[in-house]
Structure 1
Amino acid sequence: MLVELLVENFAVADRVRIRLHAGLNVLSGETGSGKSLLVDSLGLLFGGRASTEVIRSGADRARIAGIFEAPKKKALSALLDEAGIELEDGELLIEREILANGKSRAFIGSKPVSASFLKQLQPWLGDIHGQHDQQRLFNMIEQRLMLDEYAGNETLLERIATLFTALRAAESELAQIDAREQELLRQRDIWSFQKTEIESANLKPGEDTGLDQELRILANVVKLKEQAGGAYEALQEGPESAMSMLIVATKRIAELKRIDENLHSVLENLRTAEASIDEASRELSSYVENLEADPGRLAFVEARIAEIDKLRRKYGSSVEEILSFYAKVSADLALIEGADERRDHLRSEIKKLQIAYGTAAAELTVRRRKAAEKLEKKVEGELKDLNMERSRFVIAVQESSWSATGADEVAFLISTNLGEEPKPLEKVASGGELSRLALALKVSLAASGQRTMVFDEVDAGIGGSAAEQVGKKLKALAASNQLLCVTHLAQIAAFADHHFLVEKREAKGRTHSVIEELEGPARVKEIARMIGGQRLTDEAVRYADQLLQMGATA
């Protein structure tokens, strides 16, 4: 329920605050006074599109804030918890700002939120019914949505959508397999040759790098042996070898250490160097001994490298890339070899999905038709109360192609005159009849609760006794929902539990809208104005009193 609405710098409203109540709240006023501005601003709190055109001239931003009493619903609590939003005393403070630079911001409490999140909240807080909603009645998709909502088909529709998606995915994959089959068969011989050629090479990851290193060694055995042998001699053999000179130096430093203990570290370093040279000499000796020319091995390595080079020219710059190509070719061949098996599996799966979908869709059709019968009677009863007792309302549920929403086409039909066959709404209903039909549907589909239902121009095209019946219907609907109704008809305003007057006033050379809640004589005066215009007559005042008495006892 909307508790309070604040509008700042919105069109002609510089600052308007209205505190609303449970029941039927009516807004009246002269044409152009700003009645619909409140409806438009509430639409922004429900996530509507923002435009800089609504910003009051001279202001840098427009601001709308609303305090809502949140219904105690688990789904709403889950949505708010997921967004990290907490209720304060069971209420939500929702704000929307439209900036002059074209940007807009939204907040719940002090937490920034997106306009799309406000749209998610909207079904729990309220909805707006106006001329646009009447045009939506012509849309068969909207008609189906209304019927499914009335029937409570949400869970079944989710299952049908899941089955339909899976069915279309399986059919698409099967079609792709069939379409690619000839192409894959043409490629099979090539892929088989490539797979066999790579397999026969028996490649190992990193093998090419190891072979290149081995080839360099085998091709340079003589040079390696000469140079390594020379290094060994320089380290170990001969009177001028590194080891000989190091031994001499070690002996001299050992003798000097007896005199000066400070040479201890020098002596230790020399002995360490002696051990290192000895170790290096042994490694070099072993290396030279193992270096032998092996023409057979050299030929094998050269041939192996040539074999890998041949594969590298075809399939990749390294053994790893060749093996990657091999994996892809193997997968492609497996796809061909497993195509028949996959095709059989898909055909079986499609058959199962078709049966499951058909069963669920048939159940949905039954539910829709049963709900259609109930809703038809309910709407016709409401139309009778709205002085359309000769009208017939029909919901046609007819077989259609399979879709994510079932296998039905739903159409709302109406006959407003006795003896006429029901036809689509846009071909039969006048503006006034459409307004009453929209209200009848709204009443029939409405669930009791704390939601705010906004009716803008629900009285379009009607008057007299029909308007009186609309007023009674709104009054009855307001018993279980909060209603905010913009009207220019006294017959409707008289049924209000709370009546607000919207006026334009001038101050300091500027026009601004103000809202005032009416009671007693002030309300009688406004009702009389709605009846007879600005010139109040005794007859208009008396009729206003009669209407208010009738509204009070309804």
Structure 2
Amino acid sequence: MIEEIRIDNLGVITRAHVELGPGLTVLTGETGAGKTMVLTALSLLLGGKADPATVRRGAASAAVEGRVLLPGDAPAVARAAEAGAELDDDGSLLLVRTVGAGSDGVAGRSRAYVGGRSVPQAVLADLAEALVTVHGQADQARLRSPAHQREALDAFVGEAHRDTLARYRAAWAERARVVEELDDLVARTQERAREAELLRLGLAEVERVDPQPGEDVALAEEADRLSHAEDLRAAASGAHEALAGEADASGDALAATEVVDRAKRLLEQAGGHDQALAALATRVAEAGYLLADVAAELSSYMEDLQADPLRLEAVQQRRAALAQLTRSYGSDVAQVLAWAEDAGRRLLDLDGGDQRLDDLRARVHELDEAVAALAADLTQGRTEAASRLAAAVSAELSGLAMAGAELQVTVEPAEPGPYGADRVEMLLVPHAGAPARPLGKGASGGELSRVMLAIEVTLATAPDSGAARPGTFVFDEVDAGVGGRAAIEVGRRLADVARSAQVLVVTHLAQVAAFADRHLVVTKSTADGVDVVTESDVRLVTDEARVRELARMLSGQDDSEAARTHAAELLELSTVGR
């Protein structure tokens, strides 16, 4: 239930405080007094689109604040908690929406807050879905559409039906996805075949060459060695001679090993007299051993090193074969092997395309059966409920001064779609003997207003209806085109709805306003030649003040004695009527 709404700088309203309560609350006032801005404020709180043009001229922004009272188990409580909002101790939730006026042609930003936490606008819309149902003259236009008529019937059928509809929609969406995948796979069959053939050719080439991990690096090193065999032999021979060569003709030892050995002996001879020199002798001896080992390895290297033109040619041929692979499948052998592994997996997937086609076709068939079965359940539920909804609404129309009027609800087969395989249409017989005509073609604005109200009352009050029942209903001039006795019955029906829900009605009809539990009047003042609505211009009227307001609505003159007498009669009639 909405407890209150505070408005700042919205349209003609500079500041207003609208206190609401349970039961039926009506909002009245002269045309242009600001009633529409109250509903605009409510729309903002419910996640509606923010229009910077609604910000009062001269103000930087507009703000709307609302407080709603939520039962502890309400779905809105869980949604608010998900958004990080906090409820007050009394279970109420504070909603705030601000709209910037903008400047230099740039629209101002809109911000939303729930329970003290900044949230996206969509959170307000989610909360509104569970809290409030708004009906206005735009809903009359929607009532003309078969889709809206189907939605009304689905709401009436019950919870189990809506569960079936949800499962149908899920199956329908899944079928559409699978069919799309199947069509794509069929369309790409030739493309997949060409891709598979290229992969097979590539894998065959890799298999023929049979590259080994690291082979390209090893062959490059071997080719370099074979190409420079003589240079390597000369270097090794010279080094070996320097380390272990023979003395020259003068008898001097030119080999490094001999020089080191001589140094070692000299140090050993004198080392007995000095430990430091003895230690150096040990290190020189170690160097001699290392030089001897290197000389031996150089000798072995020279024995193994041979210029082998045949081997060099074989290595170059192998490297050329590997190079051809790397030009096509990677920069080195490692990348070629990785490509071959990926290509093998891709080829398995492509070769399994026929099986995938079979699987998808089987899945489509399975979903076709599921969709058909669920569609049949939907048709049965709608067909059985159509006559009950028509009878209930027709009874309401009779009470709304449309005696002899009858609503007919037909369910005809149609091409399967996202909502089933039915075409739901509502037809109105406006009076006895008249032909039934679709609501979209034969109903006047006043008739549509009463049909819409009758449907809403039926959905909200029928004991066997599974329709969702929000805590608050808002009707914006739902009584347009209605007058006289019909207006009284509209007021009576709104009061009926208000027995189990909070109802807020904007009306120009005294016959409707007379049934209210709370009557709020919006007036406007003039400040500096500009129309404004201040906090004092939204007031609750009771007793004599209410009689005067009803008289104004009846005759345009609140001081007319006849009008005031009529207003008092309306109030008495509404009290007796309830």
Distance, in Å, in 2 between the alignment partners of 1:363 and 1:421 is 31
- Cα distance, 1:143 vs. partner? 2.0
Distance, in Å, in 2 between the alignment partners of 1:268 and 1:224 is 33
Check the 8 A contact 2:549/2:558 in 1, yes or no: no
1:187–1:449: structure 2 CA closer, same or farther, 3 Å change rule? Answer: closer
- Cα distance, 1:347 vs. partner? 2.7
Distance, in Å, in 2 between the alignment partners of 1:551 and 1:253 is 133
Q: Alignment partner of 1:389: what SS?
A: coil
Check the 8 A contact 1:380/1:389 in 2, yes or no: no
Distance, in Å, in 1 between the alignment partners of 2:524 and 2:282 is 105
Query: Are 1:165 and 2:173 matched, yes or no?
Result: yes
- Cα distance, 1:508 vs. partner? 4.8
- Cα distance, 1:330 vs. partner? 4.3
Query: Are 1:433 and 2:447 matched, yes or no?
Result: yes
Give the alignment partner of residue 178 of structure 1, picking from 161, 175, 186.
186
Q: CA deviation digits over 1:360-390, x for unaligned, max 9? A: 1111111122222222122112111111132
- Pairwise mapping of residues 115-154 of structure 1 onto structure 2 (< 5 A)? 115-151=121-157, 152=159, 153-154=161-162
Query: Are 1:37 and 2:37 matched, yes or no?
Result: yes
- Cα distance, 1:161 vs. partner? 2.2
Match of 2:370 in 1: 356
Match of 1:401 in 2: 415
Identify which range, 532-541 or 311-320, moves more after superposition.
311-320
1:302–1:24: structure 2 CA closer, same or farther, 3 Å change rule? Answer: same
Identify which range, 170-179 or 362-371, moves more after superposition.
170-179
Identify which range, 4-13 or 275-284, moves more after superposition.
275-284
Match of 1:193 in 2: 201
Give the alignment partner of residue 495 of structure 1, picking from 488, 499, 515.
515
Give the alignment partner of residue 342 of structure 1, picking from 353, 356, 363.
356
Distance, in Å, in 1 between the alignment partners of 2:17 and 2:419 is 44
Query: Are 1:379 and 2:393 matched, yes or no?
Result: yes
- Pairwise mapping of residues 216-231 of structure 1 onto structure 2 (< 5 A)? 216-231=224-239
- Cα distance, 1:74 vs. partner? 5.5
Q: CA deviation digits over 1:429-459, x for unaligned, max 9? A: 1010111111111112226866221111111
- Cα distance, 1:258 vs. partner? 7.9
- Cα distance, 1:117 vs. partner? 1.6
Match of 1:551 in 2: 574
Query: Are 1:542 and 2:562 matched, yes or no?
Result: no
Check the 8 A contact 2:558/2:564 in 1, yes or no: no
Give the alignment partner of residue 421 of structure 1, picking from 435, 449, 471.
435
> Once superposed, what is the RMSD of the aligned Cα atoms?
3.3
Match of 1:204 in 2: 212
Distance, in Å, in 1 between the alignment partners of 2:287 and 2:410 is 103
Distance, in Å, in 1 between the alignment partners of 2:281 and 2:312 is 48
1:229–1:468: structure 2 CA closer, same or farther, 3 Å change rule? Answer: farther
Q: Alignment partner of 1:393: what SS?
A: strand
- Cα distance, 1:316 vs. partner? 4.1
Distance, in Å, in 2 between the alignment partners of 1:247 and 1:50 is 102
Distance, in Å, in 1 between the alignment partners of 2:199 and 2:98 is 64
Check the 8 A contact 1:71/1:449 in 2, yes or no: no
Q: CA deviation digits over 1:238-293, x for unaligned, max 9? A: 757499569949987997998798x9999999899888877877776665565444
Query: Are 1:524 and 2:538 matched, yes or no?
Result: no
- Cα distance, 1:310 vs. partner? 2.5
Q: Alignment partner of 1:496: what SS?
A: coil
- Cα distance, 1:15 vs. partner? 0.8
Query: Are 1:84 and 2:90 matched, yes or no?
Result: no
Q: Alignment partner of 1:461: what SS?
A: coil
Distance, in Å, in 1 between the alignment partners of 2:196 and 2:11 is 72
Check the 8 A contact 1:495/1:548 in 2, yes or no: yes
Q: Alignment partner of 1:4: what SS?
A: strand
1:221–1:511: structure 2 CA closer, same or farther, 3 Å change rule? Answer: same
Match of 2:105 in 1: none
Match of 2:110 in 1: 104
Match of 1:14 in 2: 14
Identify which range, 273-282 or 213-222, moves more after superposition.
273-282
Q: Alignment partner of 2:421: what SS?
A: strand
Match of 2:248 in 1: none
Q: CA deviation digits over 1:51-105, x for unaligned, max 9? A: 1111111110000010011234463343233222232231111111111222111
- Give the residue type in structure 2 aligned to 1:390: G
Check the 8 A contact 2:153/2:382 in 1, yes or no: yes
Match of 2:484 in 1: 464
1:552–1:353: structure 2 CA closer, same or farther, 3 Å change rule? Answer: same
What TM-score does the superposition give when structure 2 sets the normalisation length? 0.86
- Give the residue type in structure 2 aligned to 1:462: V
- Cα distance, 1:540 vs. partner? 1.1
Distance, in Å, in 2 between the alignment partners of 1:246 and 1:381 is 128
- Cα distance, 1:160 vs. partner? 1.5
Distance, in Å, in 2 between the alignment partners of 1:254 and 1:122 is 107
Distance, in Å, in 2 between the alignment partners of 1:376 and 1:98 is 43
Identify which range, 405-414 or 184-193, moves more after superposition.
184-193
1:511–1:295: structure 2 CA closer, same or farther, 3 Å change rule? Answer: same
1:303–1:52: structure 2 CA closer, same or farther, 3 Å change rule? Answer: same
- Give the residue type in structure 1 aligned to 2:394: E
- Give the residue type in structure 1 aligned to 2:38: L
- Give the residue type in structure 1 aligned to 2:569: Q
Check the 8 A contact 1:397/1:411 in 2, yes or no: yes
Distance, in Å, in 2 between the alignment partners of 1:84 and 1:272 is 78
Distance, in Å, in 1 between the alignment partners of 2:338 and 2:575 is 85
1:208–1:333: structure 2 CA closer, same or farther, 3 Å change rule? Answer: same
- Cα distance, 1:417 vs. partner? 2.4
Identify which range, 248-257 or 423-432, moves more after superposition.
248-257
Q: Alignment partner of 1:65: what SS?
A: strand
Identify which range, 46-55 or 280-289, moves more after superposition.
280-289
1:470–1:203: structure 2 CA closer, same or farther, 3 Å change rule? Answer: same
Identify which range, 367-376 or 281-290, moves more after superposition.
281-290
Check the 8 A contact 1:29/1:503 in 2, yes or no: yes
What TM-score does the superposition give when structure 1 sets the normalisation length? 0.89
- Cα distance, 1:331 vs. partner? 5.3
**How many equivalent pairs are there?**
553
Distance, in Å, in 2 between the alignment partners of 1:181 and 1:75 is 49
Identity of matched residues, %: 37
- Cα distance, 1:528 vs. partner? 1.1
- Cα distance, 1:524 vs. partner? 1.1
